[in-house]
Amino acid sequence: FAKEQNDPELWSDLMVYSRDKPEFIVGLLELGGTLTNPTKLIRSVPPGLAVPDIRRALTNVLYDYHLQVELCTDCKHVLDADCELLSEGLRMVQHQGMSVEEEHVCLVCQDSLVGSAALAFWCGHVFHDRCVLHPDVLLKTMLRSASELALGRRSNRLVQGSIEQRRMLTLGKLDRTMLIRQYHPVCPVCAEYDQKKMAQMHTGWSSAERKDHCEEPVKWQGKKYEVEVDTTQPGEMFKMQLYSLTGVEPDRQKILVKGGQLKDDTSMSALGLVNGQILMMMGTAGELPKAPQQPVKFMEDMTEDEMAQALSIPAGLTNLGNTCYMNATLQCLKAVPELKQALDSLAGSMGQSDPRNNLAASMRQLYDQLSASSDGVPPLVFLQFLRQVFPKFGAQDRQHGGFMQQDAEECWNELLTTLDHALKKGDSSVVEQYMSGTMVTTLSTEEAPEEKATVREQMFRKLDCIID
């Protein structure tokens, strides 16, 4: 039924109805793959829905599409060959000679063409040269040295004369033809036909259509714009036409019409416009849209790293042998934007005398690598400085070999202590400001309420939550 009706909305309704029914999905792909959009159908399938025989159905769709491409390619080759053959035939016909008999007359003056110079165009129309060329052009194209030959007068003496005389006749005609072509003469019959066709294109409306259209000049900032108004449309469409001409956005336009200003929902037919009625518009043109400073780059042209950066896909850290505790701690710290800003403003680079500053600088470099990559990043340099500052994280397992497992909480505390020292500015640091708190403890006794309570403050960087 959908094929018989050939209605896009009907196909869309059928696709919506079938998106959670596996057998319907396969049926649409097999029967309507060339009539519907298979990509749209596949994307509408809910995630996790099992569709049996989906591979076979998609294979058939791709096979049908491949056949269509091959058919279109072969048809194009046939059409190209036919066009080339017909174009060559047309060229040969147009370059053939044209016989002018006694019954042929000039299409302008209706006099006989025999015995006088004539011009023949590729369209097949023939005229006297004096009826087509301007007198000045006609005078300039006369060859005085071979005037009789150039005029093309037929006489038994020339036609039946010597080879040299016939050669002079041909050369004279060719020379004069080359001179005339420099002035680009136009066939009067074809020019008149083209003018009528253009006039019909501009005035080809029916009587009902002429009633719905009128030409209105619009004045704005001393300039006048001729606008073709469709009275069946609302004022919003008329404003969009003016926007394309003047650059004044529709919201800024104030068009003065009979009864006040033109509104977006006003029907143009209710204004009683007539051809030639001048309309006034006030408003300031906004700045024209500028081209983007950087060229637009599509996802298909991006590398994996560029796509990850554009889509903000976080990169991972490579496990270098029981370093999951360190990787998890680094990923948590990376989620703090204030810490990243503080690291970016850190002065100096790796290679300083204080190993704690080297550890902070290596963390900054590692975060920059994570932001610019989509693949896993091995934290080799950071791990080296971490074990240099805290040798306990470099302890090895003597029984099984390799490095021992460590505690992520302990790594967290040590890193915050190091960053608090390296990123301190004045009396505070980013760790103290955003990643620390103060615990206030008040001790008092109910047995001696007159005694003053003891208040104690203690800074903390972790808040334990004990769950029984």
The residue behind tokens 């403890």 is 441
- Rounded to whole angstroms, how far apart are CA atoms 449 and 64? 92
Burial (Cβ within 10 Å: 0-12, 13-18, ≥19) of residue 88: exposed
Q: Is 184 helix (H, G, I), strand (E, B) or coil?
A: coil
Q: Is 466 helix (H, G, I), strand (E, B) or coil?
A: coil
> In the prediction, which pLDDT does 440 show?
92
Residues 6+ apart with CB under 8 A from 183: 133, 134, 137, 141
> In the prediction, which pLDDT does 196 show?
66
Amino acid, single-letter form, for residue 393: F
> In the prediction, which pLDDT does 290 show?
67
- Rounded to whole angstroms, how far apart are CA atoms 367 and 384? 16
Residue of 454, 407, 422 lying closest to 357 (CA atoms)? 422
> In the prediction, which pLDDT does 147 show?
40
In this structure, the number of other CB atoms found within 10 A of the CB of residue 44 comes to 13
Pair of tokens at residue 285: 């043109």
H or E, element range at 202: helix 188-202
> In the prediction, which pLDDT does 68 show?
82
| Residue 145 · residue 110 · CB < 8 Å | no
- Rounded to whole angstroms, how far apart are CA atoms 124 and 39? 54
Residue of 266, 260, 201, 261 lying closest to 229 (CA atoms)? 266
In Å, what is the CA distance from 348 to each residue of 99, 124, 235, 423, 432? 94, 86, 64, 12, 22
- Rounded to whole angstroms, how far apart are CA atoms 444 and 138? 124
Q: Which residues does residue 168 pair with via DSSP β-bridges, in sequence order? A: none
H or E, element range at 56: helix 54-94
Per-residue pLDDT of the chain (468 residues; tens, 9 = 90+): 777 777 777 878 888 888 788 888 888 877 765 667 777 777 888 888 888 887 888 887 787 778 888 888 899 999 999 999 998 888 777 677 777 777 778 878 888 877 777 778 877 788 887 788 777 777 766 654 434 443 444 444 444 455 666 666 666 677 777 777 776 777 877 777 777 666 655 555 455 555 556 677 788 877 888 888 877 888 888 888 888 788 888 888 888 877 678 888 888 778 777 777 788 888 877 665 566 777 777 777 777 777 766 776 778 899 888 899 999 999 999 888 898 888 888 877 777 878 888 898 999 999 888 887 777 889 999 999 999 999 899 888 888 778 888 999 999 999 998 898 888 887 888 888 888 888 899 999 888 888 888 999 988 888 878 787
| Residue 239 · residue 218 · CB < 8 Å | no
Pair of tokens at residue 252: 């800024």
- Rounded to whole angstroms, how far apart are CA atoms 44 and 285? 44
Helices and strands in the chain: count of H runs, count of E runs: 20, 9
> In the prediction, which pLDDT does 7 show?
75
> In the prediction, which pLDDT does 354 show?
84
> In the prediction, which pLDDT does 32 show?
61
In Å, what is the CA distance from 465 to each residue of 433, 459, 462, 468? 22, 16, 9, 10
Torsion of CA 143, 145, 149, 151, to 10 degrees: 30
> In the prediction, which pLDDT does 212 show?
58
378 alpha-carbon distance from chain centroid:
38
> In the prediction, which pLDDT does 329 show?
92
| Maximum C-alpha span of the chain | 152
